[in-house]
Amino acid sequence: MSDEPNDQDRYPTLTEAGRRMLRDLREHPSAPMYRNQSGNRLTLEDVSELRSFEREILESAVDFLPNQTPAWVNEYVQRTFEDVPYYRSLGSPPKKFTDLPTISRADLAADIAKFVPDSVSLNRLINFRTTGTTGHPLLIASHPVVAGRYLAFHKRALKRFGIELKHGRNQVGVVILGNQRKCFTYVSVTPLMDESGLAKINLHPADWNHPDDRAKYLDALDPEVYAGDPISFAELLKLPITTTPRALISVSMALSEGLRAKLEARFACPVLDVYSMNEVGPIAVYDSNAGGHVLLQPQLFVEILDANGDRVPSGQHGEIVVTGGFNFCLPLLRYRTGDFGALVVGKEAPVITGLSGRQPIRFRANDGRWLNNIDVSHALGAIPFSRYGLHQHADGSLALNIAMAELSLAEKAKTALELLFGDQPITVIGLIAEDKFIQYTSDLEGAKQ
Protein backbone atom coordinates (compact mmCIF):
# COMPACT_ATOMS: atom_id res chain seq x y z
CA MET A 1 0.00 0.00 0.00
CA SER A 2 1.36 3.42 -0.95
CA ASP A 3 1.93 5.93 1.82
CA GLU A 4 1.51 8.74 -0.71
CA PRO A 5 -1.23 11.01 0.71
CA ASN A 6 -4.11 12.12 -1.47
CA ASP A 7 -6.66 14.93 -1.16
CA GLN A 8 -9.04 12.70 0.77
CA ASP A 9 -6.28 12.33 3.41
CA ARG A 10 -5.49 16.03 3.35
CA TYR A 11 -9.06 17.35 3.47
CA PRO A 12 -11.33 14.54 4.77
CA THR A 13 -14.38 16.82 5.12
CA LEU A 14 -13.96 18.83 1.91
CA THR A 15 -17.20 20.11 0.32
CA GLU A 16 -17.73 21.53 -3.14
CA ALA A 17 -17.21 25.07 -1.76
CA GLY A 18 -13.92 24.00 -0.19
CA ARG A 19 -12.82 22.40 -3.43
CA ARG A 20 -13.61 25.65 -5.25
CA MET A 21 -11.59 27.62 -2.69
CA LEU A 22 -8.56 25.36 -3.17
CA ARG A 23 -8.82 25.71 -6.93
CA ASP A 24 -9.17 29.49 -6.76
CA LEU A 25 -6.18 29.81 -4.45
CA ARG A 26 -4.03 27.67 -6.73
CA GLU A 27 -5.24 28.88 -10.11
CA HIS A 28 -5.52 32.63 -9.65
CA PRO A 29 -3.62 34.31 -12.52
CA SER A 30 -1.27 35.98 -10.02
CA ALA A 31 -0.86 32.94 -7.77
CA PRO A 32 2.63 31.95 -6.67
CA MET A 33 4.18 28.58 -7.44
CA TYR A 34 2.91 26.36 -4.67
CA ARG A 35 5.72 23.93 -4.06
CA ASN A 36 4.19 21.52 -1.55
CA GLN A 37 0.97 19.94 -0.41
CA SER A 38 -0.59 19.68 3.01
CA GLY A 39 -4.04 19.97 4.51
CA ASN A 40 -6.08 20.09 7.69
CA ARG A 41 -6.44 16.25 7.86
CA LEU A 42 -9.42 16.73 10.17
CA THR A 43 -12.32 14.28 10.29
CA LEU A 44 -15.85 15.24 11.27
CA GLU A 45 -15.21 13.86 14.77
CA ASP A 46 -12.04 15.94 15.03
CA VAL A 47 -13.91 19.09 14.01
CA SER A 48 -16.56 18.46 16.63
CA GLU A 49 -13.90 17.85 19.28
CA LEU A 50 -12.06 21.01 18.24
CA ARG A 51 -15.23 23.07 18.58
CA SER A 52 -15.59 21.94 22.19
CA PHE A 53 -11.88 22.54 22.79
CA GLU A 54 -12.19 26.05 21.40
CA ARG A 55 -15.15 26.86 23.67
CA GLU A 56 -13.21 25.59 26.65
CA ILE A 57 -10.11 27.61 25.82
CA LEU A 58 -12.07 30.79 25.27
CA GLU A 59 -13.91 30.38 28.58
CA SER A 60 -11.16 29.03 30.87
CA ALA A 61 -8.92 31.19 32.99
CA VAL A 62 -5.14 30.94 33.27
CA ASP A 63 -5.29 31.33 36.99
CA PHE A 64 -2.13 30.03 38.66
CA LEU A 65 0.08 32.39 40.63
CA PRO A 66 3.82 32.63 40.02
CA ASN A 67 5.65 29.86 41.92
CA GLN A 68 2.44 28.09 42.95
CA THR A 69 2.07 24.72 41.26
CA PRO A 70 -1.53 24.34 40.02
CA ALA A 71 -3.57 21.42 41.39
CA TRP A 72 -3.84 19.64 38.00
CA VAL A 73 -0.08 19.31 37.70
CA ASN A 74 0.36 16.44 40.20
CA GLU A 75 -1.98 14.12 38.35
CA TYR A 76 -0.40 15.19 35.07
CA VAL A 77 3.04 14.23 36.40
CA GLN A 78 1.80 10.82 37.61
CA ARG A 79 0.16 10.09 34.26
CA THR A 80 3.22 11.20 32.31
CA PHE A 81 5.54 9.02 34.39
CA GLU A 82 3.30 6.03 33.65
CA ASP A 83 2.64 6.68 29.98
CA VAL A 84 5.86 8.17 28.57
CA PRO A 85 8.94 5.96 28.11
CA TYR A 86 11.46 8.72 28.89
CA TYR A 87 9.87 9.47 32.25
CA ARG A 88 9.28 5.83 33.07
CA SER A 89 13.02 5.29 32.72
CA LEU A 90 13.63 7.94 35.38
CA GLY A 91 11.92 5.74 37.97
CA SER A 92 9.27 6.92 40.38
CA PRO A 93 7.77 10.42 40.20
CA PRO A 94 9.38 12.69 42.80
CA LYS A 95 7.40 13.59 45.89
CA LYS A 96 7.75 17.30 45.21
CA PHE A 97 7.12 18.87 41.82
CA THR A 98 10.17 21.09 42.21
CA ASP A 99 12.35 17.95 42.47
CA LEU A 100 11.34 16.95 38.96
CA PRO A 101 14.40 17.17 36.72
CA THR A 102 14.17 19.63 33.85
CA ILE A 103 14.60 18.65 30.21
CA SER A 104 15.77 20.72 27.28
CA ARG A 105 15.62 20.81 23.52
CA ALA A 106 18.71 18.56 23.40
CA ASP A 107 16.77 15.78 25.19
CA LEU A 108 13.94 15.95 22.66
CA ALA A 109 16.41 16.12 19.78
CA ALA A 110 18.27 13.02 21.01
CA ASP A 111 15.24 10.73 20.51
CA ILE A 112 11.73 12.13 20.20
CA ALA A 113 10.25 8.59 20.24
CA LYS A 114 10.96 8.33 23.98
CA PHE A 115 8.66 11.29 24.62
CA VAL A 116 5.61 9.99 22.75
CA PRO A 117 3.11 8.46 25.21
CA ASP A 118 2.26 4.76 24.86
CA SER A 119 -1.42 5.70 24.72
CA VAL A 120 -1.04 7.70 21.47
CA SER A 121 -2.07 5.84 18.32
CA LEU A 122 0.55 6.14 15.59
CA ASN A 123 -1.83 6.04 12.62
CA ARG A 124 -2.20 9.79 12.31
CA LEU A 125 1.12 11.01 13.63
CA ILE A 126 2.54 14.08 11.87
CA ASN A 127 5.69 16.04 12.47
CA PHE A 128 6.85 19.62 12.69
CA ARG A 129 10.50 20.38 12.16
CA THR A 130 12.53 23.27 13.51
CA THR A 131 16.14 24.18 12.98
CA GLY A 132 16.68 26.97 15.50
CA THR A 133 19.93 28.57 16.50
CA THR A 134 21.03 26.11 19.17
CA GLY A 135 22.51 23.42 16.95
CA HIS A 136 19.79 20.90 17.82
CA PRO A 137 17.48 20.38 14.82
CA LEU A 138 14.23 19.16 16.23
CA LEU A 139 11.43 16.97 14.99
CA ILE A 140 8.23 17.34 17.00
CA ALA A 141 5.65 14.55 17.14
CA SER A 142 2.18 15.95 16.60
CA HIS A 143 -1.31 15.19 15.33
CA PRO A 144 -3.79 17.01 13.03
CA VAL A 145 -6.01 17.76 16.04
CA VAL A 146 -3.05 19.34 17.85
CA ALA A 147 -2.33 21.50 14.81
CA GLY A 148 -6.04 22.39 14.67
CA ARG A 149 -5.99 23.47 18.32
CA TYR A 150 -3.68 26.39 17.52
CA LEU A 151 -6.68 28.33 16.23
CA ALA A 152 -8.36 28.30 19.65
CA PHE A 153 -5.34 30.08 21.17
CA HIS A 154 -5.15 32.54 18.30
CA LYS A 155 -8.82 33.34 18.87
CA ARG A 156 -8.14 33.81 22.58
CA ALA A 157 -5.28 36.17 21.75
CA LEU A 158 -7.34 38.08 19.18
CA LYS A 159 -10.21 38.42 21.63
CA ARG A 160 -7.93 40.50 23.88
CA PHE A 161 -7.76 43.02 21.09
CA GLY A 162 -11.47 42.97 20.33
CA ILE A 163 -11.20 40.83 17.22
CA GLU A 164 -13.55 37.93 16.58
CA LEU A 165 -12.82 36.04 13.39
CA LYS A 166 -15.63 36.19 10.84
CA HIS A 167 -14.36 34.97 7.48
CA GLY A 168 -15.96 31.72 6.41
CA ARG A 169 -17.11 30.02 3.21
CA ASN A 170 -15.78 31.55 -0.02
CA GLN A 171 -13.45 33.86 1.93
CA VAL A 172 -9.80 33.56 2.87
CA GLY A 173 -9.21 33.26 6.60
CA VAL A 174 -5.46 33.42 6.82
CA VAL A 175 -2.40 33.90 4.67
CA ILE A 176 0.74 32.61 6.35
CA LEU A 177 3.75 34.49 5.06
CA GLY A 178 7.34 33.43 4.67
CA ASN A 179 10.17 35.32 3.06
CA GLN A 180 13.06 33.03 2.40
CA ARG A 181 14.75 31.34 -0.52
CA LYS A 182 13.16 27.97 0.27
CA CYS A 183 9.82 27.74 1.99
CA PHE A 184 7.10 25.09 2.47
CA THR A 185 4.07 26.49 0.59
CA TYR A 186 0.58 25.07 0.04
CA VAL A 187 -3.14 25.82 0.18
CA SER A 188 -5.85 24.46 2.43
CA VAL A 189 -9.20 25.21 4.04
CA THR A 190 -10.16 25.51 7.71
CA PRO A 191 -13.21 23.32 8.53
CA LEU A 192 -13.75 25.13 11.83
CA MET A 193 -14.25 28.37 9.89
CA ASP A 194 -16.68 26.89 7.37
CA GLU A 195 -13.84 26.13 4.98
CA SER A 196 -12.35 29.59 4.81
CA GLY A 197 -9.18 29.51 2.73
CA LEU A 198 -5.66 29.13 4.08
CA ALA A 199 -2.61 29.89 1.97
CA LYS A 200 0.95 29.47 3.11
CA ILE A 201 3.05 31.49 0.72
CA ASN A 202 6.59 32.71 0.23
CA LEU A 203 7.03 36.41 -0.53
CA HIS A 204 10.48 35.75 -1.95
CA PRO A 205 10.32 36.85 -5.62
CA ALA A 206 11.69 33.47 -6.75
CA ASP A 207 8.30 31.91 -5.97
CA TRP A 208 6.36 34.25 -8.29
CA ASN A 209 6.02 34.72 -12.03
CA HIS A 210 6.43 38.45 -11.48
CA PRO A 211 7.19 40.30 -8.21
CA ASP A 212 4.15 42.55 -8.82
CA ASP A 213 1.92 39.48 -8.64
CA ARG A 214 2.44 39.40 -4.88
CA ALA A 215 0.30 42.47 -4.16
CA LYS A 216 -2.26 41.51 -6.81
CA TYR A 217 -2.66 38.05 -5.37
CA LEU A 218 -2.89 39.21 -1.74
CA ASP A 219 -5.45 41.85 -2.68
CA ALA A 220 -7.47 39.20 -4.49
CA LEU A 221 -7.33 36.92 -1.46
CA ASP A 222 -8.18 39.75 0.97
CA PRO A 223 -7.47 37.53 4.01
CA GLU A 224 -8.88 38.29 7.42
CA VAL A 225 -5.51 37.59 9.06
CA TYR A 226 -1.90 37.64 7.98
CA ALA A 227 0.41 35.43 10.02
CA GLY A 228 4.15 35.61 9.68
CA ASP A 229 7.36 36.71 11.31
CA PRO A 230 9.03 40.14 11.44
CA ILE A 231 11.07 39.31 8.31
CA SER A 232 8.05 38.50 6.16
CA PHE A 233 6.06 41.41 7.62
CA ALA A 234 8.89 43.81 6.73
CA GLU A 235 8.58 42.54 3.15
CA LEU A 236 4.77 42.84 3.28
CA LEU A 237 5.16 46.53 4.16
CA LYS A 238 6.87 47.13 0.83
CA LEU A 239 3.98 45.76 -1.25
CA PRO A 240 1.30 48.15 -2.62
CA ILE A 241 -1.57 46.20 -1.10
CA THR A 242 -4.87 48.07 -0.97
CA THR A 243 -6.95 45.60 1.08
CA THR A 244 -6.59 45.55 4.85
CA PRO A 245 -6.62 42.53 7.15
CA ARG A 246 -8.34 42.62 10.53
CA ALA A 247 -5.21 41.46 12.37
CA LEU A 248 -1.59 40.48 11.93
CA ILE A 249 -0.11 37.68 14.01
CA SER A 250 3.66 37.65 14.37
CA VAL A 251 5.48 34.60 15.74
CA SER A 252 8.96 33.07 15.75
CA MET A 253 11.05 36.06 16.72
CA ALA A 254 10.86 39.27 18.71
CA LEU A 255 8.81 41.99 17.06
CA SER A 256 10.34 45.42 17.59
CA GLU A 257 8.18 48.31 18.75
CA GLY A 258 9.25 50.23 15.64
CA LEU A 259 8.14 47.54 13.20
CA ARG A 260 4.91 46.98 15.10
CA ALA A 261 4.10 50.70 14.92
CA LYS A 262 4.80 50.75 11.19
CA LEU A 263 2.61 47.70 10.60
CA GLU A 264 -0.22 49.09 12.73
CA ALA A 265 -0.09 52.40 10.91
CA ARG A 266 0.05 50.76 7.49
CA PHE A 267 -2.72 48.20 8.00
CA ALA A 268 -4.82 49.99 10.65
CA CYS A 269 -5.32 46.80 12.64
CA PRO A 270 -3.90 45.14 15.75
CA VAL A 271 -0.52 43.48 15.33
CA LEU A 272 -0.21 40.57 17.74
CA ASP A 273 3.23 39.50 18.90
CA VAL A 274 2.67 35.88 19.92
CA TYR A 275 5.34 34.00 21.85
CA SER A 276 5.02 30.55 20.36
CA MET A 277 7.22 27.54 19.85
CA ASN A 278 6.81 24.27 17.99
CA GLU A 279 7.25 22.25 21.17
CA VAL A 280 4.50 24.07 23.08
CA GLY A 281 2.36 26.08 20.63
CA PRO A 282 1.21 29.64 21.36
CA ILE A 283 2.32 30.45 24.92
CA ALA A 284 1.56 34.15 25.34
CA VAL A 285 0.56 37.30 23.49
CA TYR A 286 2.11 40.72 24.00
CA ASP A 287 -0.21 43.35 25.42
CA SER A 288 1.33 46.71 26.28
CA ASN A 289 -1.51 47.36 28.74
CA ALA A 290 -0.48 44.26 30.67
CA GLY A 291 3.20 45.19 30.49
CA GLY A 292 4.33 42.04 28.70
CA HIS A 293 3.25 38.73 27.18
CA VAL A 294 -0.01 37.46 28.69
CA LEU A 295 -0.20 33.67 29.05
CA LEU A 296 -2.74 31.96 26.78
CA GLN A 297 -2.92 28.28 27.77
CA PRO A 298 -5.03 27.30 30.81
CA GLN A 299 -3.25 23.91 31.00
CA LEU A 300 0.31 25.17 30.71
CA PHE A 301 2.19 25.85 33.91
CA VAL A 302 5.03 28.32 33.49
CA GLU A 303 7.95 28.60 35.91
CA ILE A 304 10.99 30.83 35.85
CA LEU A 305 14.17 29.05 36.95
CA ASP A 306 17.72 30.19 37.57
CA ALA A 307 20.79 28.45 36.16
CA ASN A 308 20.74 25.96 39.09
CA GLY A 309 17.18 24.92 38.34
CA ASP A 310 15.71 26.76 41.33
CA ARG A 311 12.61 28.92 41.08
CA VAL A 312 13.26 32.66 41.20
CA PRO A 313 10.93 35.10 43.01
CA SER A 314 8.08 36.57 40.99
CA GLY A 315 9.33 39.43 38.84
CA GLN A 316 12.91 38.16 38.68
CA HIS A 317 14.46 37.23 35.35
CA GLY A 318 15.29 33.61 34.53
CA GLU A 319 14.69 30.81 32.05
CA ILE A 320 11.10 30.07 31.03
CA VAL A 321 10.23 26.45 31.88
CA VAL A 322 6.90 24.88 30.94
CA THR A 323 4.80 21.91 32.06
CA GLY A 324 1.66 20.63 30.36
CA GLY A 325 0.41 21.97 27.05
CA PHE A 326 -2.06 20.82 24.44
CA ASN A 327 0.08 18.48 22.35
CA PHE A 328 -1.02 15.08 23.62
CA CYS A 329 1.76 13.50 21.52
CA LEU A 330 4.39 15.36 23.53
CA PRO A 331 3.46 15.95 27.18
CA LEU A 332 6.11 18.17 28.69
CA LEU A 333 7.37 18.20 32.26
CA ARG A 334 9.57 21.14 33.20
CA TYR A 335 10.78 21.80 29.67
CA ARG A 336 13.47 24.48 29.54
CA THR A 337 12.49 26.62 26.58
CA GLY A 338 15.85 28.36 26.17
CA ASP A 339 13.94 31.65 26.39
CA PHE A 340 14.20 34.10 29.26
CA GLY A 341 11.86 36.45 31.06
CA ALA A 342 10.19 37.20 34.39
CA LEU A 343 6.72 36.11 35.50
CA VAL A 344 4.39 38.50 37.30
CA VAL A 345 0.77 38.43 38.39
CA GLY A 346 -1.49 39.95 35.74
CA LYS A 347 -5.05 41.20 35.79
CA GLU A 348 -6.51 38.21 33.93
CA ALA A 349 -3.53 35.86 33.63
CA PRO A 350 0.16 35.74 34.57
CA VAL A 351 2.37 37.91 32.40
CA ILE A 352 5.90 37.27 31.11
CA THR A 353 7.86 40.51 31.21
CA GLY A 354 11.17 41.20 29.49
CA LEU A 355 10.84 38.18 27.19
CA SER A 356 14.07 37.52 25.36
CA GLY A 357 14.97 34.64 23.13
CA ARG A 358 18.22 33.59 24.73
CA GLN A 359 20.30 33.72 27.86
CA PRO A 360 20.75 37.35 28.93
CA ILE A 361 23.99 38.94 27.83
CA ARG A 362 25.70 41.97 29.35
CA PHE A 363 27.50 44.47 27.16
CA ARG A 364 30.25 46.79 28.33
CA ALA A 365 30.00 50.50 27.64
CA ASN A 366 33.04 52.60 26.83
CA ASP A 367 33.32 53.82 30.44
CA GLY A 368 33.32 50.23 31.78
CA ARG A 369 29.66 50.16 32.85
CA TRP A 370 27.82 46.90 32.21
CA LEU A 371 24.62 47.22 30.19
CA ASN A 372 21.86 44.61 30.09
CA ASN A 373 20.70 43.39 26.68
CA ILE A 374 17.28 44.78 27.62
CA ASP A 375 18.88 48.25 27.51
CA VAL A 376 19.97 47.50 23.96
CA SER A 377 16.46 46.30 23.07
CA HIS A 378 15.05 49.57 24.39
CA ALA A 379 17.62 51.68 22.55
CA LEU A 380 16.95 49.96 19.21
CA GLY A 381 13.27 49.18 19.78
CA ALA A 382 11.92 52.25 18.05
CA ILE A 383 13.81 51.51 14.82
CA PRO A 384 11.65 49.37 12.51
CA PHE A 385 14.12 46.54 11.95
CA SER A 386 12.66 43.19 10.97
CA ARG A 387 15.41 41.76 13.20
CA TYR A 388 18.90 42.58 14.36
CA GLY A 389 21.79 41.09 16.29
CA LEU A 390 24.49 42.72 18.37
CA HIS A 391 27.86 41.15 19.08
CA GLN A 392 30.59 42.60 21.29
CA HIS A 393 34.15 41.59 20.46
CA ALA A 394 36.81 40.98 23.11
CA ASP A 395 38.24 44.48 22.51
CA GLY A 396 34.82 46.02 23.28
CA SER A 397 34.01 46.95 19.69
CA LEU A 398 30.48 46.18 18.48
CA ALA A 399 29.09 44.45 15.40
CA LEU A 400 25.47 45.23 14.53
CA ASN A 401 23.84 42.68 12.22
CA ILE A 402 20.85 43.93 10.24
CA ALA A 403 19.04 42.88 7.08
CA MET A 404 20.63 44.06 3.83
CA ALA A 405 17.35 45.71 2.88
CA GLU A 406 17.42 47.75 6.11
CA LEU A 407 20.96 49.14 5.86
CA SER A 408 19.42 52.58 5.41
CA LEU A 409 18.45 52.44 9.10
CA ALA A 410 22.07 51.78 10.16
CA GLU A 411 22.97 55.38 10.97
CA LYS A 412 19.93 55.76 13.20
CA ALA A 413 20.90 52.58 15.02
CA LYS A 414 24.52 53.67 15.42
CA THR A 415 23.35 56.94 16.98
CA ALA A 416 21.11 55.05 19.42
CA LEU A 417 23.95 52.69 20.35
CA GLU A 418 26.46 55.55 20.77
CA LEU A 419 24.10 57.16 23.30
CA LEU A 420 24.19 53.90 25.24
CA PHE A 421 27.78 52.76 24.80
CA GLY A 422 29.68 56.00 24.35
CA ASP A 423 32.50 56.06 21.87
CA GLN A 424 32.74 52.32 21.03
CA PRO A 425 33.60 51.43 17.43
CA ILE A 426 30.52 49.97 15.70
CA THR A 427 30.60 47.93 12.49
CA VAL A 428 27.37 47.25 10.58
CA ILE A 429 27.00 43.86 8.87
CA GLY A 430 24.26 43.04 6.33
CA LEU A 431 22.36 39.78 6.76
CA ILE A 432 20.59 37.84 4.07
CA ALA A 433 17.07 36.57 4.78
CA GLU A 434 18.09 32.96 5.46
CA ASP A 435 20.78 33.74 8.03
CA LYS A 436 19.94 32.37 11.47
CA PHE A 437 21.63 33.90 14.44
CA ILE A 438 21.45 34.47 18.17
CA GLN A 439 20.36 38.03 18.85
CA TYR A 440 22.87 39.01 21.55
CA THR A 441 26.38 37.57 21.83
CA SER A 442 29.65 38.66 23.35
CA ASP A 443 33.29 37.55 23.54
CA LEU A 444 33.82 39.45 26.80
CA GLU A 445 34.40 37.56 30.01
CA GLY A 446 31.52 38.11 32.43
CA ALA A 447 29.05 38.88 29.66
CA LYS A 448 26.85 35.88 30.38
CA GLN A 449 24.68 36.50 33.42
Partner 1 sequence: MQNIGPSLEILIRRLVDIPPDFLDEPKIGNQGQVVVAALVNDLLRWFGARPSDLILARFRSSNTGIDRNRLALVMIVVWLLADEWFIAAGIPQHLLVKLLDETPADLASTTPAHKFVTDPDRREELARTVLARLNFRPKDETLAQATDRLSSISGSERKRLLEASRAAEHRARAIREALAKKAAEESADKWTRE
Q: Which of residues 177-216 bind partner 1 (CB under 8 A)?
A: 178, 188, 190, 198, 200
Distance of CA 41 to the CA centre of its chain: 22
Binding of partner 1 by 99 (CB under 8 A) = yes
Least gap, CB of 163 to partner 1 (angstroms): 13
Interface residues for partner 1 in 280-309 (CB under 8 A)? 282, 308-309
- HSE (side-chain half, CA atoms, 13 Å) at 228: 29
Taking CB under 8 A as the criterion, the residue among 20, 28, 79, 114 binding partner 1 is 114
Cα separation of 226 and 215, whole Å? 13
Interface residues for partner 1 in 358-387 (CB under 8 A)? none
Binding of partner 1 by 274 (CB under 8 A) = yes
Nearer to partner 1, 29 or 91 (CB): 91
Q: How many residues bind partner 1 (CB under 8 A)?
A: 71
Closest CA to 191 of 353, 14, 327: 14
Least gap, CB of 403 to partner 1 (angstroms): 20
Buried b (16+ CB within 10 A) or exposed e, 330-343: bbbbbbbbbbbbbb
Greatest pairwise CA separation for the chain in angstroms: 70
Nearer to partner 1, 302 or 376 (CB): 302
Neighbours of 313 (CB within 10 A): 11
Neighbours of 439 (CB within 10 A): 20
Distance of CA 3 to the CA centre of its chain: 30
Cα separation of 312 and 366, whole Å? 32
Least gap, CB of 361 to partner 1 (angstroms): 22
Binding of partner 1 by 126 (CB under 8 A) = yes
Which residues are CB-contacts of 58 (< 8 A; sequence separation ≥ 6)? 152, 155, 156, 159
Neighbours of 308 (CB within 10 A): 5
Provide the residue type at 126 as one letter. Answer: I
Nearer to partner 1, 123 or 288 (CB): 123
Interface residues for partner 1 in 58-97 (CB under 8 A)? 81, 85-86, 88-92, 94-96
Binding of partner 1 by 258 (CB under 8 A) = no
Which residues are CB-contacts of 310 (< 8 A; sequence separation ≥ 6)? none
Binding of partner 1 by 1 (CB under 8 A) = no
Nearer to partner 1, 225 or 431 (CB): 225
Neighbours of 388 (CB within 10 A): 25
**Among the residue ranges 23-31, 62-70, 237-245, 273-281, the one whose residues contact partner 1 (CB under 8 A):** 273-281
Binding of partner 1 by 102 (CB under 8 A) = yes
**Among the residue ranges 55-63, 99-107, 367-375, 433-441, the one whose residues contact partner 1 (CB under 8 A):** 99-107
Least gap, CB of 116 to partner 1 (angstroms): 5
Binding of partner 1 by 263 (CB under 8 A) = no
